Structure 1
């Protein structure tokens, strides 16, 4: 009886998840003939370019800098425009010091596919950040770690979007 209830419960969960369109997300898939992506940046040694390079390696894709041995028209090229970090005030302490704010990391980039017009895209990664004037050093380190996380998330978003854009730009059916 107990096993039957577990089976009915699992069946109910699976049918609910499948009916709402949920599916597990795997690694972003690019066309098989694309395995190298050229990364360029408006700023030399941009942190987002490094994060994107690291994430591409995790997904099994290669990256290279412009000027390497391959012609730019043969590869997908991503040009990272200058990143922006904005702060939006959420609350203040009675003393007037900032207690909490939203960090808004704005990412803009341009992606070029072989023999196609470049596509420009922009998105934001937002985090809530609580400041504590009594722990300035710890909060400074926490902010650095949060920015690294936001860059990694932005790199993942670029790769996921690139997967969809590649299918559309290169007229490939999945």
Structure 2
């Protein structure tokens, strides 16, 4: 008498994904941000928003990276404020304490490595790329992506033109350097 085993397809249960506001850091480097994660722990990515703030497009980008297998945290460098036009964006960016912003980015990276995965990269969007590079200086990052500007870094670096780059280019670079 034989026994027949029927295996369930490994894709019968969809992976659950989450997007939420989180607190991280402490003291002067305490911050909040948007975190996109799933049941599966993937390498960490800190997304540094552009001069318009942590808006819906940045959140959607974080979710795209999460779909590619990354655990993503975007610190809110403007504490909930968002710009509606270029003038407001310039005012927000000009009023930012760059040293505090760099601490928040490092704390976000530390939050990811302490709680999720030992490897972490930073993606800076436009104006945020220079802040990401500044935060990377002197800290241990495994990769840096500067989307829309050129910077220098002591870790693997990808500088992309904002007009021709895609989130797939970024995901491929991060997957190679963070796995």
TM-score between both structures, scaled by the size of structure 1: 0.24
User: Greater strand percent: which structure?
Assistant: 1
TM-score between both structures, scaled by the size of structure 2: 0.24
